[in-house]
């Protein structure tokens, strides 16, 4: 079961990630649990969760994908026209997606970023609102970047480290829930297996990854990770 850190930041074990993803979908988009589909995560964020989703450049070096604003106030964005950082007003419940950073990757990355920020709002909102009294004029936020996490050093993680780790692990599971992912994986394995005999396991692996990425509208990298999590080793 979930426990709390001493600081009251939610601490979710890795083996609870699927459960957390399913709870998110049951609350905001149960349709995705009835049959396999590409979760319309932008629609979910805007119309089921009531979030304001906007596109703004966040950093000069493309290091940040998105940001979730938990309170109203000022927040920093990067103005690429004049090459400077500026403070702008952001409203409670605003999700900022960096279109330039995501353009360097793929549409699946955008969907994952939206799911990532949406999970922050769903699970971490109360924690951040509780600390908003520190500076009520500045929005309380969390930013999602590319930094790697050393899981052997968890004892030294900050609250934000824990919450980023949770959102990174759970966002792809929201977009690829377990039963629906297994159903489509089985279908594509059967569909592509007729060529695997002559082309080998590498062909089957690539074909299934491509089909799943296209179906769920996620990145191939996310599919690769999800296949491993679900116990599929198609190269063998």
pLDDT digits (tens, 9 = 90+) for 94-121: 999 999 988 877 788 999 999 999 999 9
User: Would you state the pLDDT for residue 136?
Assistant: 63
Q: Is 101 exposed, middle or buried (0-12, 13-18, 19+ CB in 10 A)?
A: buried
Residue 227: pLDDT band with limits 50, 70, 90? very high
Domain ranges of the chain: 3-175, 179-229
Number of CB atoms found within 10 A of residue 20's CB:
22
pLDDT over threshold 80, residue 4: no
User: Would you state the pLDDT for residue 140?
Assistant: 82
Q: Give residue 15's region: left, alpha or beta (phi > 0; psi -120 to 50).
A: alpha
pLDDT over threshold 70, residue 196: no
């Amino acid at each position: 079961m979930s426990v709390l850190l001493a600081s009251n930041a939610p601490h979710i074990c890795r083996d609870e990630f699927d459960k957390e993803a399913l709870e998110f979908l049951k609350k905001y988009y149960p349709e995705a649990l009835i049959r396999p589909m590409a979760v319309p995560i932008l629609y979910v964020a805007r119309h089921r969760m009531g979030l304001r989703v906007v596109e703004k450049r966040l950093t000069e070096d493309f290091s940040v994908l998105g940001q979730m604003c938990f309170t109203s106030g000022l927040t920093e964005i990067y103005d690429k026209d004049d090459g400077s950082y500026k403070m702008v007003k952001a409203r409670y419940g605003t999700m900022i997606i960096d279109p330039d950073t995501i353009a360097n990757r793929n549409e699946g990355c955008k969907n994952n970023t939206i799911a990532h920020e949406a999970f922050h709002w769903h699970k971490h909102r109360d924690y951040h609102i509780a600390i908003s009294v520190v500076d009520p004029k500045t929005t309380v936020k969390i930013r999602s970047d590319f930094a790697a996490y050393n899981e052997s050093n968890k004892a030294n993680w900050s609250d934000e480290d824990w919450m980023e780790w949770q959102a990174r692990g759970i966002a792809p599971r929201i977009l690829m829930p377990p039963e629906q992912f297994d159903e489509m994986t089985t279908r594509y394995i059967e569909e592509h297996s007729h060529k695997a005999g002559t082309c080998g396991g590498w062909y089957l692996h690539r074909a299934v990854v491509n089909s799943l990425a296209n179906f769920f509208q996620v990145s191939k990298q996310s599919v690769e990770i999800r296949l491993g999590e679900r116990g599929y080793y198609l190269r063998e």
